[in-house]
Amino acid sequence: MIIDKLIDKIIEKQNPSAVGLDTCLAYLPLDMQSSIKNGNDVCNSIFEFNKRIIDKIYDIVPAVKVQIAYYEQYGLYGLEAFKKTLDYAKSKDLIVISDVKRNDIGSTAECYSKAYLGGVNINGFDINDFESDFVTVNGYLGSDGINPFLDDCKNNDKGIFILVKTSNVSSFEIQDRQLRSGERIYEIMGYYVSKWGKEFIGKYGYSSIGAVVGATQPQQAIVLRTENPSSFFLIPGYGMQGGKASDIANSFDARGLGGIVNSSRKILCAYKSDKYSKLSFDDAAREAALEMKEDLTSALNAAGKTMLKKKLKGV
Amino acid sequence: MIIDKLIDKIIEKQNPSAVGLDTCLAYLPLDMQSSIKNGNDVCNSIFEFNKRIIDKIYDIVPAVKVQIAYYEQYGLYGLEAFKKTLDYAKSKDLIVISDVKRNDIGSTAECYSKAYLGGVNINGFDINDFESDFVTVNGYLGSDGINPFLDDCKNNDKGIFILVKTSNVSSFEIQDRQLRSGERIYEIMGYYVSKWGKEFIGKYGYSSIGAVVGATQPQQAIVLRTENPSSFFLIPGYGMQGGKASDIANSFDARGLGGIVNSSRKILCAYKSDKYSKLSFDDAAREAALEMKEDLTSALNAAGKTMLKKKLKGV
């Protein structure tokens, strides 16, 4: 099951983090930026940047999270770079999380699911350009918008992370509203994630149907971790957005498992910081990724949540 | 202002409807389907189908709604067909609504907004492949995920429709939950849409920041129309999903304005129905679009909401 593969890799690398390849042109070194003359150069430069980062981090991190919005802004050229990035990350045996936050009614959600988790077959040939291990999904439309993804998760051994409590400052406006029944909206969403994920629970007790819970939301993370023991968390918001490793430990269980923490800009743009200014962008990214790993594992240890050292055998 | 342009066109054509170009290969006539041998054929066939539909409807409908999921499932080939479809619809002076339901935190929402409502400039050249007049957006993340879209709406005279009450059967699961304060979640979302839209109100009293309110939700539409007099509604769910014209009248004001109703399959696949089986797919689409126009205007008349016959002069 894909969630087991992800957790196996986290344990193998003793690193519960993902590198976020949210690559926009402003993150590239100036010489790379200035040589861009047309759309094809946009595609090639972004892919070259990502490839060099992947080459320097694939042995130390279990997964990459690729935020499609950064590619979509560059139209078809950007989306070609997105596809090439996914393909290259898969060739390096990384777990690929496509952060797409797609959502729609059932028949349309089915198309989105095919785009990322299933592919289509037409007269005997396949199109599966954006195949990913996991995608993020927005659950505001309810079950019939989620079911097509669940079908593909089952048929193709894929996973999804559903937005529950997001990392941004105004996430409280809708998500923290309290219902007559007492719960907050994010708790209701968490409840549905658990419900939708029941048939996808793997050997570690976690489901391939997980939840997005921002690193900036430590109090809500305690609630959600308690109420949803089998939901694995995708945790954005570490680093530039202000999420601290000590807070993130709230999302983990006593085995040091339960979530994967994403950092994007702090890794991609590490070479712009004073600390790493003497390094190339890819070497700086590796150092920043190692620093993040150390920060997270220290915080887990300090919280008495030292990570399992050995993978569970397949069950 | 873009909302005025849309309403002007609705009045000019006396037709408050959009044709939904949710084109998947299964909708194409069998001879078009069977000649597809590779990805480029996928792109060309979908575009050819859309082009022929647009040629037959552009003089009678004000707008098209293009659902990107149907294109995204065919990867880069599909997205090229999406771009070509948007370009062709614009060349025929149709208002283009890209139904993308994008959503993310502020910095990422900015990328999505650029993809559809702003474009990017890189070293002196522009990329704006997916430029649209309106996009749909999911507001679950709150204000900071919406603000970048508002900025582009202001700077580039664009509009958005935010999901408030969707047309699918399980939309009640989250959207109808009642808060301690008494309102339902869809009412809160409607409130925010009105708030976000305050600075975008045009000559008809409607804002370029509108709401998605499903045709299948007539009771909620009454509530939302009353509570949000300046929100223009994008109304999906008519036709195949079961929304009736008589119910849809609830979303309109006494001038017969206030919404645009979308129909996709019932128009694209009209040639498959007994009624139009002797017509080509594009002629059948025109007949079905005229039938929809007649159905909607009759229902508005029956509800005492006969549409204005003359556009307001610019104010």
Q: What is the ipTM of this complex?
A: 0.97
Check if A98 contacts B (Cβ < 8 Å).
Answer: no
Q: Exposed, middle or buried, B199 (CB in 10 Å: 0-12/13-18/19+)? A: exposed
* Res B314: pLDDT: 75
Q: Which of B127, B170, B189 sits opposite A77 (nearest CB)?
A: B127
Q: Which of A125-129, A216-220, B73-77, B295-299 is the least confident region?
A: A216-220
Structure tokens at A70: 């950064």
Kindly indicate the confidence band of residue B240, based on its pLDDT and cuts at 50, 70 and 90: confident
Kindly state whether residue A59 falls inside one of the protein's structural domains: no
| Rounded mean pLDDT, B84-104 | 98
Structure tokens at B82: 């999406």
Kindly state whether residue A236 falls inside one of the protein's structural domains: yes
pLDDT digits (tens, 9 = 90+) for A54-112: 999 999 999 999 999 999 999 999 999 999 999 999 999 999 999 999 999 999 999 99
Kindly indicate the confidence band of residue A315, based on its pLDDT and cuts at 50, 70 and 90: low
Beta carbons within 8 Å of A122's beta carbon, 6+ residues apart = B25, B36, B42
Q: For residue A267, what are the CA distances in angstroms to A22, A95, A212, A284?
A: 10, 18, 20, 8
Chain A residues lying within 8 Å of B180, measured CB to CB? 178-180
CATH code, domain carrying A250: 3.20.20.70
DSSP alpha helices (H): ranges in chain A?
2-12, 30-34, 39-57, 68-72, 75-91, 106-113, 143-156, 172-175, 185-196, 218-227, 245-248, 265-268, 281-302
Mean model confidence pLDDT for chain A: 97
Kindly state whether residue B166 falls inside one of the protein's structural domains: yes
Q: Which of A22, A38, A108 sits opposite B67 (nearest CB)?
A: A108
Kindly state whether residue A232 falls inside one of the protein's structural domains: yes
Structure tokens at B211: 């709401």
- Domain count for chain B: 1
> Mind telling me how many Å the CA of B214 is from chain A's nearest CA?
11
Q: Which of A34, A70, A141 sits opposite B111 (nearest CB)?
A: A70
* Res B243: pLDDT: 85
Kindly state whether residue B113 falls inside one of the protein's structural domains: yes
Kindly state whether residue B78 falls inside one of the protein's structural domains: no
Chain A residues lying within 8 Å of B141, measured CB to CB? 163, 166, 168, 170-171, 174
> Mind telling me how many Å the CA of B216 is from chain A's nearest CA?
13
Check if B268 contacts A (Cβ < 8 Å).
Answer: no
Whether the CB-CB separation of A96 and A77 falls below 8 Å is answered with no
Distance CA A56, CA A46 (A): 16
* Residue in B closest to A125 by C-alpha: B38
Please give the residue range of the domain that contains residue A135: 2-17+102-299
Cβ contact, residue pair B170, A102, below 8 Å: no
- Return the closest-CA partner of residue B123 out of A185, A245, A39: A39
> Residue A238: is its pLDDT beyond 80?
yes
Whether the CB-CB separation of B19 and B57 falls below 8 Å is answered with yes
Check if B246 contacts A (Cβ < 8 Å).
Answer: no
Chain A residues lying within 8 Å of B106, measured CB to CB? 168
Cβ contact, residue pair B112, A72, below 8 Å: yes
Kindly indicate the confidence band of residue B19, based on its pLDDT and cuts at 50, 70 and 90: very high
Kindly state whether residue A36 falls inside one of the protein's structural domains: no
> Mind telling me how many Å the CA of B115 is from chain A's nearest CA?
4
Kindly state whether residue A159 falls inside one of the protein's structural domains: yes
pLDDT digits (tens, 9 = 90+) for B36-53: 999 999 999 999 999 999
pLDDT digits (tens, 9 = 90+) for A31-56: 999 999 999 999 999 999 999 999 99
* Res B170: pLDDT: 96
Check if B102 contacts A (Cβ < 8 Å).
Answer: yes
Helix/strand/coil (H, E, C) string of chain B? CHHHHHHHHHHHHCCCEEEECCCCHHHCCHHHHHCCCCHHHHHHHHHHHHHHHHHHHCCCCCEEEEEHHHHHCCHHHHHHHHHHHHHHHHHCCCEEEEEEEECCCHHHHHHHHHHHHHCEEECCEEECCCCCCEEEECCCCCHHHHHHHHHHHHHHCCEEEEEEECCCHHHHHHHCCEECCCCEHHHHHHHHHHHHCHHHECCCCCECEEEEECCCCHHHHHHHHHHCCCCCEEECCECCCCECHHHHHHHCCCCCCCEEEEECHHHHCHHHCHHHCCCCHHHHHHHHHHHHHHHHHHHHHHCCCCCCCCCCCCC
Whether the CB-CB separation of B38 and B74 falls below 8 Å is answered with no
Kindly indicate the confidence band of residue B315, based on its pLDDT and cuts at 50, 70 and 90: low
> Residue A4: is its pLDDT beyond 70?
yes
Distance CA B37, CA B42 (A): 8
Find which of B37, B41, B107, B188 to mutate to test the A interface (most A CBs within 10 Å of its CB).
B107
> Mind telling me how many Å the CA of A216 is from chain B's nearest CA?
12
